[in-house]
Amino acid sequence: MDKLVLKSPAKINLFLEVLRKREDGYHQILSLIQAVDLCDELVLQKRETGVVISCDYPDCPTDESNLAFKAASLLLEGEKIEEGVSIHIKKKIPISAGLGGGSSNAAATLKGINRLYQLQLPDKKLYALACRIGSDVPFFLHSGQALIKERGEKIEPINMYGDYWLVLVCPHFEVSTRWAYQNVKISLTKTGKGVNFRDLENQSMFFKALRSFRNDLEEVVSKRYPVVQKIKELLKNSGALKSSMSGSGPTVYGVFDRKPQAEEVTKKLLRGDWFAESIGQIFLTQPIPGNT
């Protein structure tokens, strides 16, 4: 096998609580994450030596700062593979949007090189590499849905209702994840307890719990970028069962239980006078199961 094509999904944070800042500079979090079927496509191909990244989106970095580059380098060097790999990224997931595109690309790269070079590395080894690359990367090795703890490296698979639709509204600007975490207000009374993540397989229980979920980064991002709150209100007023920011933003999602309603809301937002100056992209998507 000399060439491999892989899908690399986005994610949303249905719940995100920032508990404390750790001594290593990262933050301890508790987050419920769901992968969705908005995907990048990665084309991996063997080459004689080195790692080469290319992308059809001009603002996507193709140097060492690209997480797929870092993933490929770590794996090839760690396994003493003298050959290299070229990775072409066909971008659909917006960059720095709170959807985990870069982390997903890195996880897909780890899995892809493992297959491309028939390394047969166990999940445990890929997981250890993923933890070195970025906080969201371990989740994307698992994908589907999971409860994420500590700085993102502790993953607890969870069964959850998934027959719903999402409208993702992505403003045209980017938000620095580091900036968002540096400026979030952390309550000293937070413990990560008291949130019910049980019985989420049931439709009514899932939607009931969903309405109580929150994102601790939303307040600080909304204060700097008021359009985030405006999008939330528009989605809610359009019938969304829940509207919230994903990750460090600025993407805002609305949850709908019916596809026709979600499609109509998408068309309505695209027709809005404020769309061109405030919004970059809008996506209609669904949750996906694990291990895709």
Q: Which of 11, 70, 111, 242 is catalytic?
A: 11
- Residue pLDDT, tens place only, 29-47: 999 999 999 999 999 999 9
11 is catalytic: yes
Residue 192 has pLDDT above 60, yes or no: no
Q: If you average pLDDT over residues 223-231, what whole number do you get?
A: 93
In the chain, the percentage of residues whose pLDDT exceeds 70 is 94
Greater pLDDT, 193 or 150: 150
* Residue 198: predicted pLDDT: 82
Rounded-to-integer distance, Cα 70 and Cα 65, Å? 7
CA nearest to 244, candidates 256, 234, 258, 254: 254
Structure-token match 């509207």, residue found: 243
Rounded-to-integer distance, Cα 164 and Cα 198, Å? 18
* Residue 279: predicted pLDDT: 67
CA nearest to 219, candidates 181, 184, 247: 184
Residue 6 has pLDDT above 80, yes or no: yes
Rounded-to-integer distance, Cα 234 and Cα 223, Å? 17
Look up the CATH architecture of domain 3-157. Answer: 2-Layer Sandwich (3.30)
| DSSP per-residue string spanning 82-110 | -SEEEEEEE--SPTTSSS-HHHHHHHHHH
What residues pair up with 193 in beta bridges, in sequence order? none
Residue 265 has pLDDT above 70, yes or no: yes
Could you tell me whether strands 145-150 and 154-157 are parallel, antiparallel, or unpaired per DSSP bridges?
antiparallel
CA nearest to 1, candidates 53, 42, 40, 44: 44
Reported as a pLDDT band with limits 50, 70 and 90, residue 77 is: very high
- Residue pLDDT, tens place only, 93-109: 999 999 999 999 999 99
Q: At what angle do helices 101-116 and 67-78 cross, to 10 degrees?
A: 30
Q: If you average pLDDT over residues 66-87, what whole number do you get?
A: 97
- The CATH class of the 165-285 domain is alpha beta
Q: If you average pLDDT over residues 78-83, what whole number do you get?
A: 96
Parse the chain into domains and list their residue ranges. 3-157, 165-285
Q: Which of 40, 70, 111, 136 is catalytic?
A: 136
Provide the 10 A C-beta neighbour count for residue 238: 18
Provide the 10 A C-beta neighbour count for residue 77: 10
Rounded-to-integer distance, Cα 292 and Cα 89, Å? 18
Rounded-to-integer distance, Cα 52 and Cα 64, Å? 10
Reported as a pLDDT band with limits 50, 70 and 90, residue 258 is: very high
* Residue 1: predicted pLDDT: 82
Reported as a pLDDT band with limits 50, 70 and 90, residue 24 is: confident
The per-residue pLDDT of the chain, averaged, comes to 92
* Residue 239: predicted pLDDT: 95
136 is catalytic: yes
Residue 151 has pLDDT above 70, yes or no: yes
Rounded-to-integer distance, Cα 253 and Cα 269, Å? 13
